[in-house]
Amino acid sequence: MNKPLSGTENEYRIAVYPGSFDPVTLGHLDIIQRAAKQFDRLIVAVLNNTTKTPLFSVEERKALLAEVTKEMPNVEIDSFRDLLVRYMRSRHARVIIRGIRSVTDFEYELQMASTNRQLDESIETVFMMTNPKYSYLSSSIVKEIAKFDGPVHDLVPPAVEAGLKGKYKSPQSAD
Ligand code: PNS
Protein backbone atom coordinates (compact mmCIF):
# COMPACT_ATOMS: atom_id res chain seq x y z
CA MET A 1 0.00 0.00 0.00
CA ASN A 2 1.22 3.52 -0.65
CA LYS A 3 2.03 5.46 2.42
CA PRO A 4 0.84 8.95 3.22
CA LEU A 5 3.69 11.34 3.90
CA SER A 6 3.35 14.75 5.39
CA GLY A 7 5.79 17.48 4.48
CA THR A 8 6.39 20.28 2.07
CA GLU A 9 8.59 20.93 -0.92
CA ASN A 10 11.20 22.27 1.46
CA GLU A 11 11.54 18.93 3.22
CA TYR A 12 11.06 16.45 0.41
CA ARG A 13 11.88 16.26 -3.25
CA ILE A 14 8.56 15.26 -4.72
CA ALA A 15 8.08 14.40 -8.39
CA VAL A 16 4.89 13.65 -10.30
CA TYR A 17 4.75 11.16 -13.17
CA PRO A 18 1.47 12.01 -14.92
CA GLY A 19 -0.21 10.05 -17.68
CA SER A 20 -3.17 8.07 -18.92
CA PHE A 21 -1.72 4.67 -17.95
CA ASP A 22 -4.49 2.84 -19.85
CA PRO A 23 -2.97 0.44 -18.86
CA VAL A 24 0.48 0.69 -17.26
CA THR A 25 3.13 -1.08 -19.36
CA LEU A 26 6.63 -2.37 -18.58
CA GLY A 27 7.91 0.82 -20.23
CA HIS A 28 6.03 2.95 -17.68
CA LEU A 29 7.16 0.67 -14.87
CA ASP A 30 10.79 1.07 -15.89
CA ILE A 31 10.41 4.87 -15.70
CA ILE A 32 8.65 4.60 -12.31
CA GLN A 33 11.44 2.43 -10.88
CA ARG A 34 14.17 4.76 -12.11
CA ALA A 35 12.41 7.99 -11.13
CA ALA A 36 11.61 6.67 -7.65
CA LYS A 37 15.37 6.33 -7.05
CA GLN A 38 15.95 9.99 -7.88
CA PHE A 39 13.29 11.56 -5.63
CA ASP A 40 12.13 11.23 -2.03
CA ARG A 41 8.61 10.67 -3.23
CA LEU A 42 7.16 9.86 -6.64
CA ILE A 43 3.46 10.41 -7.24
CA VAL A 44 2.15 8.51 -10.25
CA ALA A 45 -0.89 10.55 -11.25
CA VAL A 46 -3.58 9.19 -13.57
CA LEU A 47 -5.37 11.83 -15.61
CA ASN A 48 -9.14 11.53 -15.20
CA ASN A 49 -9.93 12.66 -18.72
CA THR A 50 -13.65 13.02 -19.29
CA THR A 51 -13.23 13.54 -23.05
CA LYS A 52 -11.66 10.10 -23.68
CA THR A 53 -13.23 6.67 -23.32
CA PRO A 54 -10.51 4.54 -21.72
CA LEU A 55 -10.43 0.75 -21.60
CA PHE A 56 -9.79 0.78 -17.85
CA SER A 57 -11.60 3.13 -15.48
CA VAL A 58 -9.52 5.52 -13.38
CA GLU A 59 -10.09 3.29 -10.35
CA GLU A 60 -8.96 0.21 -12.29
CA ARG A 61 -5.87 1.99 -13.60
CA LYS A 62 -5.00 3.16 -10.08
CA ALA A 63 -5.49 -0.35 -8.69
CA LEU A 64 -3.18 -1.84 -11.34
CA LEU A 65 -0.55 0.83 -10.68
CA ALA A 66 -0.83 0.23 -6.92
CA GLU A 67 -0.39 -3.51 -7.47
CA VAL A 68 2.71 -3.18 -9.66
CA THR A 69 4.37 -0.61 -7.36
CA LYS A 70 3.46 -2.23 -4.04
CA GLU A 71 7.12 -3.01 -3.26
CA MET A 72 8.18 0.61 -3.87
CA PRO A 73 7.83 2.44 -0.55
CA ASN A 74 8.18 5.99 -1.88
CA VAL A 75 5.71 5.62 -4.76
CA GLU A 76 2.16 6.86 -4.35
CA ILE A 77 -0.71 6.42 -6.80
CA ASP A 78 -3.21 9.22 -7.29
CA SER A 79 -5.49 10.72 -9.96
CA PHE A 80 -6.29 14.25 -10.98
CA ARG A 81 -8.84 16.11 -13.06
CA ASP A 82 -7.26 19.53 -13.38
CA LEU A 83 -4.43 21.40 -15.01
CA LEU A 84 -1.32 19.42 -14.19
CA VAL A 85 0.52 22.42 -12.75
CA ARG A 86 -2.39 23.18 -10.41
CA TYR A 87 -2.48 19.57 -9.26
CA MET A 88 1.29 19.73 -8.71
CA ARG A 89 0.97 22.79 -6.51
CA SER A 90 -1.71 21.03 -4.45
CA ARG A 91 0.77 18.18 -3.88
CA HIS A 92 3.77 20.46 -3.16
CA ALA A 93 5.58 18.95 -6.15
CA ARG A 94 7.86 20.84 -8.52
CA VAL A 95 9.12 18.20 -10.93
CA ILE A 96 7.19 16.48 -13.72
CA ILE A 97 8.63 13.19 -14.99
CA ARG A 98 8.01 12.14 -18.58
CA GLY A 99 9.46 9.25 -20.54
CA ILE A 100 10.70 9.76 -24.09
CA ARG A 101 10.79 6.76 -26.40
CA SER A 102 11.89 8.35 -29.64
CA VAL A 103 12.17 11.60 -31.56
CA THR A 104 8.49 11.31 -32.44
CA ASP A 105 7.64 11.73 -28.74
CA PHE A 106 9.89 14.73 -28.46
CA GLU A 107 7.76 17.32 -30.26
CA TYR A 108 4.64 16.63 -28.21
CA GLU A 109 6.64 16.46 -25.00
CA LEU A 110 8.43 19.73 -25.76
CA GLN A 111 5.07 21.39 -26.40
CA MET A 112 3.66 20.09 -23.10
CA ALA A 113 6.77 21.01 -21.11
CA SER A 114 6.79 24.50 -22.62
CA THR A 115 3.08 24.96 -21.90
CA ASN A 116 3.51 23.85 -18.30
CA ARG A 117 6.48 26.17 -17.92
CA GLN A 118 4.40 29.03 -19.31
CA LEU A 119 1.65 28.24 -16.78
CA ASP A 120 4.05 27.95 -13.84
CA GLU A 121 7.72 28.65 -14.32
CA SER A 122 8.67 27.13 -10.98
CA ILE A 123 7.76 23.70 -12.31
CA GLU A 124 10.45 21.72 -14.09
CA THR A 125 9.97 18.83 -16.51
CA VAL A 126 12.56 16.07 -16.32
CA PHE A 127 12.73 13.68 -19.27
CA MET A 128 13.94 10.15 -18.89
CA MET A 129 14.84 8.11 -21.93
CA THR A 130 12.78 4.94 -22.07
CA ASN A 131 14.75 1.72 -21.83
CA PRO A 132 15.49 0.83 -25.51
CA LYS A 133 13.90 -2.56 -24.81
CA TYR A 134 10.56 -0.75 -24.61
CA SER A 135 11.09 2.00 -27.19
CA TYR A 136 8.28 0.66 -29.42
CA LEU A 137 5.88 -0.03 -26.57
CA SER A 138 2.69 1.90 -25.84
CA SER A 139 -0.59 1.25 -24.04
CA SER A 140 -2.36 1.41 -27.42
CA ILE A 141 -0.11 -1.29 -28.93
CA VAL A 142 -0.70 -3.49 -25.89
CA LYS A 143 -4.48 -3.08 -26.19
CA GLU A 144 -4.35 -3.85 -29.90
CA ILE A 145 -2.47 -7.12 -29.29
CA ALA A 146 -4.66 -8.11 -26.32
CA LYS A 147 -7.85 -7.40 -28.29
CA PHE A 148 -6.86 -10.13 -30.73
CA ASP A 149 -5.79 -12.45 -27.92
CA GLY A 150 -2.09 -12.05 -28.74
CA PRO A 151 0.73 -12.49 -26.18
CA VAL A 152 1.37 -9.45 -23.96
CA HIS A 153 3.38 -11.08 -21.14
CA ASP A 154 6.62 -9.44 -22.31
CA LEU A 155 4.96 -6.03 -22.49
CA VAL A 156 2.99 -5.61 -19.26
CA PRO A 157 3.18 -6.82 -15.65
CA PRO A 158 1.18 -10.02 -14.85
CA ALA A 159 -1.63 -8.09 -13.08
CA VAL A 160 -2.18 -6.02 -16.23
CA GLU A 161 -2.10 -9.12 -18.43
CA ALA A 162 -4.87 -10.59 -16.24
CA GLY A 163 -6.81 -7.31 -16.38
CA LEU A 164 -6.60 -7.26 -20.19
CA LYS A 165 -7.80 -10.87 -20.37
CA GLY A 166 -10.81 -9.86 -18.28
CA LYS A 167 -11.61 -6.94 -20.59
CA TYR A 168 -11.32 -8.95 -23.80
CA LYS A 169 -12.66 -12.27 -22.60
CA SER A 170 -15.52 -12.46 -25.12
CA PRO A 171 -14.47 -13.87 -28.51
CA GLN A 172 -13.76 -11.23 -31.15
CA SER A 173 -16.04 -11.05 -34.12
CA ALA A 174 -14.58 -12.19 -37.44
CA ASP A 175 -15.86 -9.03 -39.16
O1 PNS B 1 -0.03 9.44 -21.00
P2 PNS B 1 -0.41 10.70 -21.73
O3 PNS B 1 -1.84 10.58 -22.23
O4 PNS B 1 0.57 11.06 -22.82
O5 PNS B 1 -0.37 11.89 -20.64
C6 PNS B 1 -0.71 13.22 -20.99
C7 PNS B 1 -0.85 14.11 -19.72
C8 PNS B 1 -1.81 13.49 -18.73
C9 PNS B 1 0.49 14.27 -19.06
C10 PNS B 1 -1.36 15.52 -20.19
O11 PNS B 1 -2.46 15.35 -21.04
C12 PNS B 1 -1.76 16.43 -19.04
O13 PNS B 1 -0.94 16.83 -18.25
N14 PNS B 1 -3.07 16.75 -18.93
C15 PNS B 1 -3.62 17.59 -17.87
C16 PNS B 1 -4.17 18.90 -18.42
C17 PNS B 1 -3.05 19.93 -18.57
O18 PNS B 1 -2.46 20.35 -17.60
N19 PNS B 1 -2.79 20.36 -19.81
C20 PNS B 1 -1.77 21.39 -20.08
C21 PNS B 1 -0.42 20.78 -20.40
S22 PNS B 1 -0.40 20.22 -22.08
Residue ranges covered by each domain of the chain: 11-154
C-alpha span between 33 and 42 (Å, rounded)? 10
**Domain 11-154: which CATH class?**
alpha beta
At 86 the pLDDT is 98
Looking at the CA of residue 139, tell me the nearest atom of ligand 1: 1
What does the DSSP 8-state code read for residue 70? T
The annotation status of 135 as a binding-site residue, yes or no, is yes
Q: What is the DSSP letter of 8?
A: -
Task: Show the beta-strand stretches assigned E in the chain.
Answer: 14-19, 41-47, 75-80, 95-100, 124-129
- Nearest residue (by CA) to ligand 1, atom 1, is 19
* CA-closest candidate to residue 28, choices 106, 112, 98: 98
Q: At what angle do helices 58-68 and 158-167 cross, to 10 degrees?
A: 150
Question: Is 92 a catalytic site residue?
Answer: no
Distances (CA, A) of 61 to 8, 15, 96, 105, 163: 27, 19, 20, 23, 10
In angstroms, the CA 109 to CA 96 distance is 11
Q: What is the pLDDT of residue 12?
A: 80
For ligand 1, atom 17: residue with the closest CA:
83
**Tens of pLDDT, residue by residue, the chain (175 residues):** 445 555 554 568 999 999 999 999 999 999 999 999 999 999 999 999 888 899 999 999 999 999 999 999 999 999 999 999 999 999 999 999 999 999 999 999 999 999 999 999 999 999 999 999 999 999 999 999 999 999 999 999 999 999 999 999 865 544 5
Is there a binding annotation on residue 100?
yes
31 known member of a binding site = no
Please state whether beta strands 95-100 and 75-80 pair in parallel, antiparallel, or not at all (unpaired).
unpaired
Give the model's pLDDT for residue 173. 47
Give, in order, the Cα–Cα distances in Å from 135 to each of 69, 102, 138, 139: 21, 7, 9, 12
Which residue, among 94, 116, 96, has the nearest Cα to 44 in the 3D structure? 96
Q: What is the largest CA-CA distance in the chain?
A: 58
Q: What type of residue is 84?
A: L
Q: Is the C-beta atom of 110 inside 6 A of ligand 1?
A: no
Q: Report pLDDT for 32.
A: 98
Q: Contact at 8 Å (CB) between 103 and 127?
A: no
Q: From the CA of 84, how far away is ligand 1's center (Å)?
A: 7
